Structure 1
Amino acid sequence: MGDHRVAVVTGASRGIGRAVATALAGAGHAVVVGYAGNEAAAKEVVDRIAATGGRAVAARADVADENAVAALFDTATEAFGGVDVVVNSAGRMALSPIADLDLADLDALHRTNIRGTFVVAREAARRVRPGGAIVLVSTSILGLQFPGYGAYAASKGAVEAMTLILAREMRGRDITVNTVAPGPTATELFLEGKDEATVEHLAKQPPLERLGTPADIAGVVAFLAGPGGRWVNGQVLRANGGIV
């Protein structure tokens, strides 16, 4: 399953998506590094993969734009011959009590996290080859239910709601569909706006007494995308060190 597998990873220019792209490349996948706007960061990921003997290309796409996403998959087919693994790591976060939330922020969350996930999943359902895997990304906030995360959690709840349904719709095609729900993970997106005391408090919550790392999450995704994960299907895996 190694050398000829091709992965499309959205949100791959930074954070968890970047770690996923490099992990899949390390497992033998050719990788399309999808990014929203930071071309330089995406190129760094491609160069890093190439430096270790892997194959990768960068492609810009707004995940909520169905034409851009179709073009992203076209890039995978033109560069590497098809698509076997799709990981939708692109996401947006906005924190606010529900009473105070700017509805423009709610619309932006909906567009990226719900519509974007749906558009990528729809294209994946049309294109992924037999033996392939679709991996979506949610959040362990759905279980933790911290104040301030209402809109974000609601958007990711939609992702979890479609997981088993899409897995069942793939019946007969030998394609798995799962969602990974990270807990607090040391990414720029997570750390932004949090003081040291808050970060320290969150790091002490899991029995393992640390924040997750992008590599921790990437390892779970690589498992689901690889031969060892073939019998895991329609599941939401809470990768959070035991915090919930």
Structure 2
Amino acid sequence: MSDRDVAVVTGGGRGIGRAISLKLARAGWDVVIGYLSDVDSATSVADEIQTLGGRALCIQVDTVDERSVEAFFAAAEQFGTVTGVVNNAGAATAVGRLEDNDLADIRHDIDVNLFGVIACCKHAQATLARSGGGAIVNISSAAATLGSPGSYVQYAAAKAGVDALTVGLSKELAPSIRVNAVSPGTIWTQFHRDPDRPAKVAETVPMGRAGEADEIAGAVAWLLSSEASYVTGANLRVAGGLGRHATGDRAIGDPLRRHGHSGYAETGVCRSSPADHRAVRPSSCTTEQRPHESKVTSGAIRPAPRPAPAVPARPRGGAGLRHVLGRHPQLVPRTRPAGRS
């Protein structure tokens, strides 16, 4: 058994999970890589960790099966002293409008993205407690605050549940176990059905690009480190500056929305091809304008005028003072008793 602490990473063989596993190994951790079916990817990560001088163990786990989760953490404890847990495993099977998806697929996504995190947190508690404490990092999503309309609202809802779980559990387990979350925006991984989607949505991100998996891994590694020893209940948003509600100039000028896409580009799945984007010109766009919204005219964004707020008439002179004092008798000045300062 090594003197290095052990970090457990679910979904640690691909995408963001792979980057997290390798980042933690470089930071001095031994890593338990949880995978569901892609053993080759998990083994590849383990081999790379060993070339870095660390130890790695690949364990198959189904995060929605409690017996599988329990066995997973038991095996991790046999591997070493577990002081870090990253709940990264996720799924987006049901894509598109809610009404167009099968409930079985929707339930599967909610199970993996929320129940799976809950199950892992439940069994991670006992493992970390036996190690003398530690930290949990839940991988959420910027979708949790955007809703992902037209793309996968159930995924966004599950991730919002992860956010609430993180806050509540951080209070429940303090001070021995810290619980935090990281909320990625659009990241270059194989998670997307459209492999070019990160490039297509780059214009909607204030940073002007999609993120890299290593940038998420850096945030996770910091939250697990002693440098974050006073951080718990936090949700670190790593989304290139895209806000919680997707408002502002970039959201108004989002080319994907102008071209008829119903979802916010950060978390939705873009179903059009690059040719579609070339074929549609912003000047041909028509929008339904609501009060105080901007309108599109010949490709330019112009703010709609706001009506001037109504200013109620105020009584003048002594009548105004009598009016105020009549409504608020406590403001009527009283005679100060003699001899008091």
TM-score, normalization by structure 2? 0.67
The answer to whether the Cα contact below 8 Å between 2:144 and 2:158 also exists between their aligned partners in 1 is: no
The answer to whether the Cα contact below 8 Å between 1:183 and 1:240 also exists between their aligned partners in 2 is: yes
Question: By how many angstroms is 1:3 displaced?
Answer: 5.1
Question: Which one is further off, 215-224 or 145-154?
Answer: 145-154
Q: Considering fraction of residues, name the structure with more helix.
A: 1
Which residue, out of 149, 169, 173, partners 1:170? Answer: 173
Gaps of 5+ in 1: none
Match of 2:156 in 1: 153
Q: C-alpha separation between the residues in 1 aligned to 2:156 and 2:19?
A: 23
> Does 2:233 correspond to 1:234?
yes
CA shift in 2, pair 1:3/1:208, >3 Å: farther
Matches within 5 A, 1:125-140: 125-128=125-128, 129-140=131-142
Matches within 5 A, 1:1-244: 4-80=4-80, 82-93=81-92, 94-128=94-128, 129-147=131-149, 148-173=151-176, 175-190=177-192, 192-193=193-194, 196=196, 198-244=197-243
Q: Output the amino acid matched with 2:234.
A: Q
Q: Output the amino acid matched with 2:36.
A: A
The answer to whether the Cα contact below 8 Å between 2:188 and 2:198 also exists between their aligned partners in 1 is: no
**1:99-135 CA distances to partner (integer Å, 9 max, x unpaired)?**
2221011110122111111100101112113341101
CA shift in 2, pair 1:25/1:5, >3 Å: same
The answer to whether the Cα contact below 8 Å between 2:146 and 2:156 also exists between their aligned partners in 1 is: no
Question: By how many angstroms is 1:204 displaced?
Answer: 2.2
Q: C-alpha separation between the residues in 1 aligned to 2:198 and 2:221?
A: 27
Structure 1 SS opposite 2:82: coil
**1:208-229 CA distances to partner (integer Å, 9 max, x unpaired)?**
2111111000000000001111
Q: Output the amino acid matched with 1:56.
A: A
Q: C-alpha separation between the residues in 1 aligned to 2:13 and 2:174?
A: 32
**1:18-54 CA distances to partner (integer Å, 9 max, x unpaired)?**
1111111111111001000111111000000001111
Question: By how many angstroms is 1:62 displaced?
Answer: 0.3
Q: C-alpha separation between the residues in 2 aligned to 1:120 and 1:210?
A: 33
Q: Output the amino acid matched with 1:230.
A: S
The answer to whether the Cα contact below 8 Å between 1:7 and 1:30 also exists between their aligned partners in 2 is: yes
Q: C-alpha separation between the residues in 2 aligned to 1:172 and 1:243?
A: 32
Aligned-residue CA RMSD in angstroms? 1.6
Q: Output the amino acid matched with 1:5.
A: D
Q: How many residues align?
A: 238
**1:178-227 CA distances to partner (integer Å, 9 max, x unpaired)?**
1111000011013x235x4x533311222221111110000000000011
Identity of aligned residues (%): 39
The answer to whether the Cα contact below 8 Å between 1:135 and 1:221 also exists between their aligned partners in 2 is: yes
Q: Output the amino acid matched with 2:215.
A: D
The answer to whether the Cα contact below 8 Å between 1:9 and 1:34 also exists between their aligned partners in 2 is: yes
CA shift in 2, pair 1:45/1:89, >3 Å: same
Q: Output the amino acid matched with 1:168.
A: K
Q: Output the amino acid matched with 1:223.
A: W
Question: By how many angstroms is 1:240 displaced?
Answer: 0.7
Q: C-alpha separation between the residues in 1 aligned to 2:186 and 2:55?
A: 30
Q: C-alpha separation between the residues in 1 aligned to 2:199 and 2:9?
A: 30
Q: Output the amino acid matched with 2:162.
A: V
Gaps of 5+ in 2: 244-341
**1:112-159 CA distances to partner (integer Å, 9 max, x unpaired)?**
111111100101112113341101111101233332221110111111
Q: C-alpha separation between the residues in 1 aligned to 2:134 and 2:198?
A: 37
The answer to whether the Cα contact below 8 Å between 1:95 and 1:152 also exists between their aligned partners in 2 is: no
Q: C-alpha separation between the residues in 2 aligned to 1:184 and 1:3?
A: 37
Whose radius of gyration is greater, 1 or 2? 2
Q: C-alpha separation between the residues in 1 aligned to 2:3 and 2:17?
A: 21
The answer to whether the Cα contact below 8 Å between 1:3 and 1:28 also exists between their aligned partners in 2 is: no
The answer to whether the Cα contact below 8 Å between 2:163 and 2:181 also exists between their aligned partners in 1 is: yes
Structure 1 SS opposite 2:237: strand
